[in-house]
Amino acid sequence: MKGVLIDVESDNHIIKLFIKDTETGKVEEVVDSSFYPYFYLLGVDEEDAKSLGEGLRGIERSKGALKIIAEKPSDVPYLREKAKEIGEIREYDIPYTQRYLIDKGLKPMKRYEWVLDGNKLISFKEDVGKWSVSRKAFDIETYNPQGMPRPSQDPVIMASFWNEELGKVITWKPAKASFVEMVEDEKRLIARITEEINSADVIYTYNGDNFDLPYIKKRADNYKIPTAIDLRRGGQGTKAKIRGKIHLDAYLGVNFLTTIGWLKLPRYRLEDVYKEFTGKEKLDMEVTDLWKDWENGTIDKVTDYSLQDAEAAYVIGERLLPLYVEFCKLVGQTMFDVSRMSASQIVELLLLKKAFHKKQIAPNKPTEHEFVSRIRKPIKGAFVKQPEPGLHENLAILDFRSLYPSIIISHNVSPETLNCECCKDDGYVSPNGYRFCKKKRGIIPEMLEELLSKRVEVKKLLKSTKDPEERKRLDAKQQALKITANATYGYTLFARARWYCRECGEAITAWGRHYVQNLISQAEETGFKVLYADTDSCFLELRDKTKEDVIKFLKDYNSKLPEAMELELEGFYPRGIFVTKREGGAAKKRYALIREDGQVEITGLEFVRRDWSGLAKKTQEKVIRAILENKIGKAKEVVMDTIDAIREGKVPLDDLVIYTQIKRKISKYDAIGPHVKAAKRLEESGVKVEPGMTIGYVVTQGAGNIGDRSYPPQLIGNRKPDVDYYINNQVLPAVMKILSEVGIKEDDLKIGGKQSDLGQWVG
C-alpha cells in the first residue's frame, strides 16, 4: 500500500498507524506490535538491574548505559521508580508514540510505501508522489439563556460545516436558506455531526479543544451516541483528539503565531482573525441573545452567522495547515501534538530526534525546584542604542540575518561544548568569558546549521518554482525552518528545557551585544549617522551618504564576519518618526517608518495594543501615515475631524469599545477597574465570565468614576458614550506623542486654535 501517515495512537504496547491510501482515498488502520517502551539507567550493572521486577521485558547495553525495556507503557512508571532507587534514569518521560516515531524515523504527513501482512506492518520506505487530505471546518451553536451554555443540559441547536466545495448548516428548526439541512431533533443532529466529522481527514475548529468538541462529546454521551472524540487534559484546558483524524484547532494556531510575533491583533475573536487574513468583514451578532431567536423561530440570521463561522474557521485552518504539515515532517511527530506545542517544545523534539541519531542520551527535564530556580535568574539582554526622538529622513536599516542562530553556529555554543577539557587554552571565548569547544561539534549548533542550510536551499527553489501549490508548500517549509531556528536561543533559557544552559544564553547575548556595538562603531567611522540600534538591527541616517555607500559598507563589513554570520539590508525608508519617553529621550521599539513603496510599518505604538478603542487606533494610524507622507497639516485635520465626529455622535459604537482580558476570577480582583466592572455586569445579566475571556466595554456619560460608567456594549441600552473621556483618554493620548514631535500641541487640537509656526510643517 502507498499512503500518507495521518495519525498514531497506542493500545498497551500495540502501535496503531492511521494511513490514508493514496489509491482508494480510505484511511486504513495498521498495527505494529514490534516496538516496546524503554528508558535508560546509568551507573548500574546489569545484574542489579535484573531485580527491577514485574513489567521488565529485557535489558540491553546501549549508549554507555542500560536500556530498560518494559512490557507495555503502563509498566514504565513502576519500573522507573524502582530504577531511581539504584541509579540515574534518563528518557523515562518521552510519550510512547513520540518515542516510536523518533526511533522508527517515521514522519507524519509524509508518503510511504507500506509492506503489510493483513493489517500488520512489516516494513516501510519513503515514497515520492503527490497526495492530499480532505478538509472540513465545523462550528456549533448552543442554546444559551444563561449566557454561557451548560453542556449537561443546554442542547446543541445547529452545526455548520464548510469545505472547499460547499457549506451547510444542520439544525432542528425550519429555516429558509437552501444550505440548511433540517433534522428531527438534537439527538439526530448529534448523530449527523459525528457523520460529518468522520467524512474528512482534517477537521478545523476555532477553539474546538475547549468548547465545540467537549460539548459534542457530552451531548453524545447523554444520548449514548458513540464518537471518535478523545478528551485529554493539557496546558490551559482540554485537548480534543479525534481518533484516526487530524483535529487542527485554528485558535491555537493563531495564538502560536501571535506568541512568535508573526501576527499582531488586539483580539483573537474569529471575526478579527478572519478579517486580518482576508480583509473581509464577517457577519457578527450578539451570541448571548442567540437563544431568543431560537425561541422565536426566527433563526435565518443565526444560520447565516453559523455558516460564516465555519467558513472563517476553514479559511484560517487552510492558512495554518501547510505550516503544520512542514512542522510534522521536520520534527517527525503528529499534527495533533505539534499544533499544540510552543516553539521551544518544537525545538526540543527536534533535539530529541537529533540526539537519537547521534546515539546520545538526552538530559532530563528539570525538577520543580530546578524550574523555580531557573526562572528566578534572568540574564543580561541585548544592546540598545536609544533612538533620537522626532522625524527623520533618508534612513537605511541593516540587520544581522538570524543573529543568535548564526552566533550559536559560529561559536559552537551548546551545553556539552561549554568549558570542554580539550580546548582549555583555546576555544571560542565569549565577551563575558565563557569558553566553547573548537574541536567537537555541539548538538545545538549542528542542528541549527542543518536548519539554516535547508532554508537556503528551499528559498532558492522557491524563487525558481512557478507552480502555485508547490510555492505554497515551499514557503511553509522555509517558514517552519525559520521559526524553529529563531526559537533555539530562547530554548536554551526555557526553564523547562532538557538542554537548558544559562551560560549558553549569556554567551549568546554577550556576543550579540559585541557584534551590534562593533557595527555601530564601524558605521560611524565610515561617516554614517547611527540613529538607533536594537538587538540585531541598526538604523542609519544617510544625510550626505548615498544608497551605493550603504551597499559598499555592507559588503566590506560582511567580509570581516565569521562565515555563518551575515549583515543584510532590510531596506531604505524615506521617513521615520520616533516618539519621546516621558522622562526624555526616545522610547525604544516605539517608532513608525514608511517604505519606498508607501507601506507603513508601526512598531510598539498604541495601534498594536489591545486596551485602546478602535477609534484611537484608527486615528493614530491615519496620523502616522500623514506625518510619514510629509503631510503634517493633514495629520492635524485627522484629529480635529475625529474630535468633531465624537462630539456629533457620528462614531460607530463598535469603534468605542475597549477590550481588556480578565486574567483571574472576578471575585479575586481587589481593584475594580472598568473592565472588571463591565465583567460583573455581564455576570449579573446571566453571562458566565471566566479567566482568559476578553471583555469589551464602553465608557458612558453620568455620575461616578470610569468603572461605574463602563458597560458591555450589549448592555449599554440608551446610555450615551462619554465624549470627553474618548477625546481626552483615548484619541489624544494615542496621537499626542507623535504630533508633539512635529510641533503640534494638545491645546491646538482641543480648541481648534492654530499654532503660529505650523506653516513650516504643512505638506
Q: Give the model confidence (pLDDT) of 161-178 as tens digits.
A: 999 878 999 999 999 999
Do the Cβ atoms of 276 and 282 come closer than 8 Å?
A: no
Which residues are CB-contacts of 299 (< 8 A; sequence separation ≥ 6)?
158, 171, 173, 175, 293
CA distance 411 to 191: 59
Place of cell 553556529: 409
Average pLDDT over residues 605-632: 83
Show me where the domains of the chain are located.
2-131, 135-336, 368-588, 605-651+725-761, 653-720
Asked, colleague to colleague, whether 135-336 and 368-588 share their fold, the answer is: no
Kindly report, residue by residue over 489-520, the tens digit of the pLDDT: 999 999 999 999 999 999 999 999 999 999 99
What is the DSSP secondary structure assignment for residue 280, as one 8-state letter?
P
What Rg, from alpha-carbon coordinates, does the chain have? Answer: 29
Backbone angles phi, psi at 34, to 5 degrees: -90, -5
Do the Cβ atoms of 167 and 138 come closer than 8 Å?
A: no
Average pLDDT over residues 553-564: 93
Which pLDDT value is given to residue 754? 40
Q: Which position has the higher pLDDT, 753 or 693?
A: 693
**Domain spanning 135-336, CATH architecture:** 2-Layer Sandwich (3.30)
Do the Cβ atoms of 37 and 13 come closer than 8 Å?
A: yes
CATH of 653-720, one of 3.40.190.10, 1.10.132.60, 3.40.50.2300, 1.20.1640.10: 1.10.132.60
Confidence grade of residue 581 (pLDDT, cut at 50, 70, 90): low
Kindly report, residue by residue over 513-527, the tens digit of the pLDDT: 999 999 999 999 999
Fold of 2-131: DNA Polymerase; Chain A, domain 1 (3.30.342)
Fold of 368-588: Palm domain of DNA polymerase (3.90.1600)
Kindly report, residue by residue over 437-479, the tens digit of the pLDDT: 999 999 999 999 999 999 999 999 999 999 999 999 999 999 9
In 3-state terms, what secondary structure has residue 619?
A: helix
Q: Is 233 left (phi over 0), alpha (psi -120 to 50) or beta?
A: beta
Confidence grade of residue 555 (pLDDT, cut at 50, 70, 90): very high
Kindly report, residue by residue over 654-663, the tens digit of the pLDDT: 899 998 888 8
CA nearest neighbour of 97 among 337, 297, 451: 337
The overall average pLDDT reported for the chain is: 90
Average pLDDT over residues 675-689: 85
The yes-or-no verdict on residue 751 having pLDDT over 60 is no
Which pLDDT value is given to residue 606? 59
